[in-house]
Amino acid sequence: MTPMTIAHLSDFHLSAEHRRSHIRRARRALDYVKTLNVDHIVVTGDITANGYPADYRIARSLFASAGLLDSDKLTVTIGNHDVFGGVHTAEEVLTFPNHCKATDDKAKVREFGCGFRETFEHTLRHSEKRCFPFAKVIGDVALIGVNTVAAHSRFKNPIGSNGGVDDRSFALLVELLESPLLHAKRKIIALHHHFCRMRDVRPGTMHSVWGAIESQTMKLHGKSRLLKLFAGTNVEMVLHGHVHESNEYSRNGVRFLNAGGSVLHDRNPDLHINIIRVSDAGVQAEIHRIPVESVSLLRNESLPDVPVAIEAHHEAA
């Protein structure tokens, strides 16, 4: 096979209103990846902080300035922040559950698909109106994108951070993974939610208190059937984010690579970029650490104006 190098990033949490430093850090991460001349980039969700049109404009501008608004160069999957948003102030802690309840998750998936519409071109999907699941064939590699953002539920997903794949989407995922078109391909799954166990979160500040709440609700429902499917269809690796760390682990013989610490690592200020090399020898993964000192300190960097139309062009996954 022709060797392929993939850069894996996640959890940019880009916002027009909050923590503009995320923009600088995401730009630095993309700049670093460009120096490596990788063949493809995968970003596994939480690209935006709240899924607002202004957030999508920032994300599109970053990708456009890096020359990445192209299906052959970039693959994206959706995260819970792209659907439900998140808590940014102490006052929002009490109102956020009601915000999640009022959110139309199907409409938000449509907005995500429209916001990054170029990246969904030339993919294998159930229909043009449905973003997820999809398969993107690049040479000998098949990248399979899955939406793991669960719908709001008072008991199972009260603050929008839990994950799950509904029965219809799971059936379509089975069809994709068992498709003859992918039979001879090296299969890599891209989704947002993690399959590892959450670590304890130390209390203290408002954000760590909210982190402690999230840690009790950051679950992926239906992990077992997904693991069984991945193992049974020869998936070589699963790429994800959600937990703000960067690490590799294995579950039931399936390899997982987390890029949640790309720009917002919980325990280290540096950037962490996952690099995956696919060849006849197998799939090798490296985590590159970029010192925080190399991230620009400029606070008013301009971004190119890239229009974004948030319209209902896709059905929800």
Query: CA 225 → CA 34, 50, 143, 146, 184, distances in Å?
Result: 37, 30, 20, 14, 23
DSSP-based three-state secondary structure for 35: helix
Specify which residues 48 forms β-bridges with: 14
Pick the closest to residue 146 from 126, 161, 156, 131 (CA basis). Answer: 131
Q: How far apart are CA 74 and CA 71, in angstroms?
A: 5
pLDDT, one tens digit per residue, over 120-138 is: 999 999 988 899 999 999 9
The rounded distance, in Å, linking the Cα atoms of 169 and 144 is: 13
- Rounded to an integer, the average pLDDT of 168-196 is 97
Of the candidates 131, 10, 139, 9, the one whose C-alpha atom is nearest the C-alpha of residue 72 is 139
Which tokens in the block code for residue 264? 């917002």
Average pLDDT of the segment spanning 191-218: 62
Over the stretch 238-290, which tens digit does the pLDDT of each residue have?
A: 999 999 999 999 999 999 999 999 999 988 999 999 999 999 999 999 999 99
Residue carrying the six token digits 């190399």: 294
pLDDT in tens, 79-128: 999 999 988 777 777 788 888 899 999 999 999 999 999 999 999 999 88
Q: Over the stretch 41-63, which tens digit does the pLDDT of each residue have?
A: 999 999 999 999 999 999 999 99
CA 11 to mean position of chain CA atoms: 6
Identify the burial level of 17 via C-beta atoms within 10 angstroms of its C-beta, where 0-12 means exposed, 13-18 middle and 19 or more buried: exposed
Q: How far apart are CA 305 and CA 64, in angstroms?
A: 9
d(CA 68, CA 220): 30
Residue 144's DSSP bridge partners are 135, 189
| pLDDT on residue 197 | 73
Per-residue pLDDT, averaged over 172-191, amounts to: 97
pLDDT tens track for 5-34: 999 999 999 998 877 889 999 999 999 999
Distance of alpha carbon 141 from alpha carbon 6, whole angstroms: 10
Per-residue pLDDT tens over the stretch 148-157: 999 999 889 9
Q: How many other CB atoms are there within 10 angstroms of residue 128's CB atom?
A: 11
Res. 181 pLDDT band, cuts 50 70 90:
very high
Rounded CA-CA distance 218/216 in Å is 6
Q: Which residues contact 54 (CB under 8 A, 6 or more apart)?
A: 16, 17
The structural domains of the chain, ordered by start, are 4-294 (3.60.21.10)
Asked if pLDDT for residue 311 goes beyond 50, the answer is no
Whether the CA torsion 12, 17, 18, 23 is positive or negative: it is positive
CA angle 196, 190, 316 (to 5 degrees): 110
